[in-house]
Structure formats: structure tokens, C-alpha cells
Amino acid sequence: DTAVSQTPKYLVTQMGNDKSIKCEQNLGHDTMYWYKQDSKKFLKIMFSYNNKELIINETVPNRFSPKSPDKAHLNLHINSLELGDSAVYFCASSQGGGAGDTQYFGPGTRLTVL
């Protein structure tokens, strides 16, 4: 019973391509997040959705577009991929909206842009 799942686990692609990463949570949580972890393991929030509404949009290039079709899903689409986009992308979810709620992370998607 995977709580937060992501597909694919690995993604290797060429510069300039468009790709998507999918995330699903079966915890019944209201809030979902996308994080980027760079090669130095620094973890930075990109987006957060609460009940399908965008509530956090950090300084992220507009090539990145999240989409939440329903509370259980949050997908990340990336246009015109660049070398600097290579990282591990984590999806997470939490019950409510406060930072005091435990965030449950998915296994990550390692994106490599060649």
C-alpha cells in the first residue's frame, strides 16, 4: 500500500524536450507538494496545492506547470527542458494546510537532462 507514489522513477531525456511526472496519494490528504532536490541534496519547495487550488508557487520558471485534476493527484509538466533541471523531484502530501502537518514524501523521480 504505497501512500505517495510517483511515476516514472527515472527519466532521461534530451534538452528541449517536454516531460511530465505524475504523483498520486492514497492517504486522503488535502494538500500536495512538489519539491526539487539538487545534486547537493538541498530540498526546495516548488508548488503546493490544497483541494486542487494552487497555494504556493515559489520562484520557479514558468516552464514548470503543475496540474491537480483531483485531490489525490498532482502532476508536474516541464517544457523545454534544460540541463539545470536535472534533479530529483519529490511529491509529498499532508492532511491539512499548516506547516505543522506531517508531510509524506514519495520515492522521487530522478530527472536527467542530456
Partner 1 sequence: QQQVKQSPQSLIVQKGGISIINCAYENTAFDYFPWYQQFPGKGPALLIAIRPDVSEKKEGRFTISFNKSAKQFSLHIMDSQPGDSATYFCASGTSNDYKLSFGAGTTVTVRA
The residue ranges that bind partner 1 (CB under 8 A) are: 4, 31, 40-45, 48, 50, 55-56, 90, 92, 97-100, 102-108
Query: Taking a C-beta distance cutoff of 8 angstroms, is the pair 82, 15 a contact?
Result: yes
Q: Can you give the C-alpha Rg of the chain in angstroms?
A: 13
**Nearer CB in complex with partner 1: 84/100:** 100
Tell me how far, at minimum, the Cβ of 90 lies from partner 1, in Å: 5
CB of 88 to partner 1, least distance (A): 9
Burial grade of 77 (CB within 10 A; 0-12, 13-18, 19 or more): middle
Question: Among residues 69 and 98, whose Cβ is nearest to partner 1?
Answer: 98
CB of 10 or CB of 80, closer to partner 1 = 10
**Residues in Cβ contact with 36 at an 8 Å cutoff, skipping those fewer than 6 apart:** 43, 44, 46, 87, 88, 89, 90
Residue 14 or 28 with smaller CB distance to partner 1 = 28
State in angstroms the smallest separation of the CB of 10 from partner 1.
Answer: 11
